Structure 1
Amino acid sequence: MSGSHPDGPTARAGSRTAPQAGRLLMGLYPAAYRAAHGEDIAAVFAETTEGMTRRQILRERTDLARHALRLRLRISADDPTGRVLAGAAPVTLAVSAGLALYLVMPRIPELVLRLRQPYPSHDLGADLLAVALFTAVAAPWLVALGAAVMGRWRVARKAGLLGALVHGTMLLTLFGPPRASTVGEAAGPALTALVLLLAPAGQVDSGRRGRWETAGLALAVALPLTAADRFGVLLTGGPIGLRQPTLQCAAAAVLLALHLSARRPDLLRAAGIALGVLPWLLFVPTALLFGRSELGHLLRILETALAPFGLALTIGLVAQFARRARRTTETSGPGGLA
């Protein structure tokens, strides 16, 4: 490694074949770390990416940004924040994938039926366009879910980042020029991407139990929503329905109760499970901020959605107290009260 400055003659001479890290990416690093290691990082990046395709360079830039953000936010595999994010990331991915399944599953049979028996005056092109848009939003999350279930978290994370990017982009562009309200709604996918990006891959549970939990959580979100649509079960009470956030939080709360009831609960991971649904509740402050719903209705949504977590916490505490009481009884023995 020559150690030359990234903006020096050597870097400019090789700029045609070796992309530079860029000021924006380097600016993500803490100032002290950048001053001490910035030249080495830029040199290694240029050497590593020489001759790579655009897709490969994008992957290297993503890894560089993730490393810089973790250093700036002081997130590591052993840090409490890293452990919380490692618990939140699979939940965020599973909820997103469950919503993707909910978008796709009811529409496939309907489209097949209309293709086989088209209505004479019906615009089939509009149906195909709608399905294409839904598929564009859902497909990355379905790929992410499949990769997570197979234990390939790094692939799942990349697909999830793509899904969040597509979702946010469509929110900002599909319904006309971006407005303040749509920018606020895009905060959900943005937070989802941030959680997936920063969660230490080595701390995410990719074992058998973690894979089953991810798959089960996704299905626990998708199937009840689909059944509610199919059989006309409505939980709406105003401009914003209670059904979707309630089912998301209820499914995550079941998982939280199981973790809190374990013999040796990991409280940081449990906190991550509870926080994993946060990106999909950001529409509540957004609706309040931009006057899209009444305060009373929004508070009702939060109360109904967050109530399952209170129940999960209660179940976990009761299970721990019962286990401790049983252990005390077994330790004291028949004559323990004598």
Structure 2
Amino acid sequence: MIDRVLRLYPAGYRSAYGEEIADVHREMTTGLPRAARLRADADLAGHALRVRLRLDSASPGGRFFALAAPFALAVAAVADGLVLTRWYEGLVRSPAPAWLQLTHTDALWGLHQLFAALVCVGAVVALSGRWVPGVSVAACGLLGEAVQGALAPEVTNGSPFAPAMALLTLATVLACPVDRRPDWELSALAGTVAAVGWFPVVALDTGVFGVTTDYDAWPVLVLAAASVTVALRRRSSGVRETGAAAVAALPLVTGALTWAHYAPWPFVGLLLVLPLAGALTAGVRAVRRRR
């Protein structure tokens, strides 16, 4: 079995480290139950594929997705949190009794709420420090959203982008290398993005403040601010941080395009937010260097 798994590694990597990997793997799995050995083989196969795809922790791609994954999860939590709170708002404001509305909820719409709840719960668990169980729960929700969006687009307002965006978020989160999972600081910042991106929109949706957040632009602005914060803390150029934020923000941007009924200007405006954030980072870094 180990020989077949080793073939998944690139030839150069296999010739340099294959024998050592095989010896360590055999030593670690000797005497283990069959199920445990299969899990170890699966972990090794996953690492081999990451190395082949250049998504391991030592590669630029791996470092990129390690940064993008928590923010993609935060954006998914914002989007699905808004789905849940807007559903709840409609439930409360309707003159019909809540129990009557719940018992007459369409099955497709009920599934949509369930998938959104799974994503939100999974994001909270993952960003609270339990990455693997949280991502597992969120992945179930995202996969369900992708399938439902493809088979029943009416639940996503007919958006043709929804299934692809759910799969993109899922792929981004799963591409995070095992040994580069977000630390508490990055998780806390991503959690803050989720909370700050979600709560003001919910508050404004009530109409109490007399203003709106058309096209849900606010969460994108929050994400841009987070990318600037990470870049400045790490004293980097901001290119990787801006790129990671752009990947995480795609579901929001394409959602805005749908809500705007494909009007170009709101879409273009949101596209400019992250490049401007990157330019701001570069400007602040240049000022710091001069000092």
Partner Cα distance (1:190, 1:117) in 2: 36
Aligned-residue offset at 1:50? 3.5
Partner Cα distance (1:60, 1:272) in 2: 33
Partner Cα distance (2:232, 2:152) in 1: 44
**Higher gyration radius (CA):** 1
Who is 1:83 aligned against? 63
1:106 aligns with 2:106: no
Who is 2:202 aligned against? 226
Who is 1:215 aligned against? 191
RMSD between superposed Cα atoms in Å: 4.2
The number of equivalent residue pairs is 274
Counterpart selection for 2:287 from 293, 303, 322: 322
Counterpart selection for 1:202 from 154, 179, 187: 179
Q: Is the 8 A contact 2:122 2:133 kept in 1?
A: yes
Partner Cα distance (1:63, 1:279) in 2: 30
Who is 2:272 aligned against? 307
Deviations 1:108-166 (A, max 9, x none): 3553676x9629xx765334757633431222222222223321222232223222201
1:188 aligns with 2:165: yes
Alignment partner of 2:62: what SS?
A: helix
Who is 1:145 aligned against? 123
Higher helix fraction (1 or 2) = 2
Who is 2:246 aligned against? 275
Q: Is the 8 A contact 2:74 2:190 kept in 1?
A: yes
- Which sections of structure 2, spanning at least 5 residues, go unmatched? none
Partner Cα distance (1:108, 1:235) in 2: 18
Partner Cα distance (2:81, 2:273) in 1: 23
Query: Which residue type is aligned with residue 78 of structure 1?
Result: A
1:94 aligns with 2:74: yes
The percentage of aligned residue pairs carrying the same residue is 23
Partner Cα distance (2:237, 2:132) in 1: 23
Aligned-residue offset at 1:89? 0.5
Residues 85 and 266 of structure 1: CA distance in aligned 2, closer, same or farther (over 3 Å) = farther
With normalisation by structure 2, the TM-score equals 0.73
Aligned-residue offset at 1:168? 0.3
- Which sections of structure 1, spanning at least 5 residues, go unmatched? 7-20, 237-242, 328-338
Residues 313 and 76 of structure 1: CA distance in aligned 2, closer, same or farther (over 3 Å) = same
Alignment partner of 2:57: what SS?
A: coil
Q: Is the 8 A contact 1:136 1:166 kept in 2?
A: no
Residues 321 and 35 of structure 1: CA distance in aligned 2, closer, same or farther (over 3 Å) = closer
Residues 64 and 229 of structure 1: CA distance in aligned 2, closer, same or farther (over 3 Å) = farther
Deviations 1:4-41 (A, max 9, x none): x88xxxxxxxxxxxxxx9xxxx99x467599988xx8x
Partner Cα distance (1:260, 1:99) in 2: 24
With normalisation by structure 1, the TM-score equals 0.64
Instruction: Give 1:39-188 correspondences, 5 Å limit.
Output: 50=34, 63=43, 66-108=46-88, 110-111=90-91, 118=97, 124-127=102-105, 129=107, 132-175=110-153, 182=160, 185-188=162-165
Query: Which residue type is aligned with residue 171 of structure 2?
Result: L
Q: Is the 8 A contact 2:68 2:244 kept in 1?
A: yes
